Chain A
Amino acid sequence: MAEQKVAAYICQGCGLGDRLDTADLAKIAQKEGKIAFAKEHEFLCNADGVQLIKNDIANEAVTHVVIGACSRRAKTEAFTFEGIHVSRANLREGVIWVRPDSDEHRETTQEMAADYIRMACAEAKKVKVPEVSPERGGNKRILVVGGGMSGMTAALEASKAGYQAVIVEKSGELGGWAAKLHKRIPFNEPFQDPQETGVAEMVAAIQADSNIKVYTNAVTSKTSGAPGRFSVEISQESGPTTTEEVGAIIQATGFTTYDIAKLPELGGGKSSNVVDQAGLEALMKAANGGAIKRPSDGGEVKTVVFVQCAGQRDDTGTHLPYCSGFCCATSVKQAMYFKDANPDVDTVVLYSDLRLPGNNEDFYRNAQRKGVTFSKGKVKSVEASGNQCKVQFHDLILNDENAAIADADLVVLATGQVPNSGTNIDLFQAAEAEALSGTNPDAEAKIAELKVVSVLNLQYRQGPDMPQLKHGFTDSHFICFPYETRRTGIYAAGPVRRPMDIAQATEDATGAAMKAIQAVENAAVGRAAHPRSGDLSYPSFRKEGCTQCKRCTVECPFGAINEDENRYPQFNEERCRRCGTCMGACPVRVISFENYSIDSIGSQIKAVDMPDEFSEKPRILILACENDAYPALDMAGMNRIEYNQFVRIIPVRCLGSVNTIFITDALNSGYDGVMLMGCKHGEDYQCHFVKGSELASYRMSKVDDTLKSMNMETERVATYEVAITDIERVPKLINEYAAKIEEIGMNPFKGF
Chain B
Amino acid sequence: MANKTYSFYPGCSSQNKASSSNYLVSTNSMCQKLGITLNEVPDWNCCGASIGYGGGGELPRIVLSARNLALSEQHNAGQDMVATCAACWLASREAKERLDHSPQMKADANEALKEAGLEYKGQAQARHMVEVLIEDIGYDALKAGVKKPLQGVKFAGYVGCQTNRPFGIAGESFENPLYLDNLVEAMGGEAVKSYDQKVTCCGGALAFSEPEKSQKQIKDIIESAYDHGADMIVTPCPLCQANVEIYQGEVNKRYGTKFNIPVTYYSQLITVAYGGTAAEAGLNGHVVAPAKLAEIAGK
Q: Quick check: do A and B touch in the complex, using CB within 8 A?
A: no
Instruction: List chain A positions with a Cβ less than 8 A from chain B.
Output: none
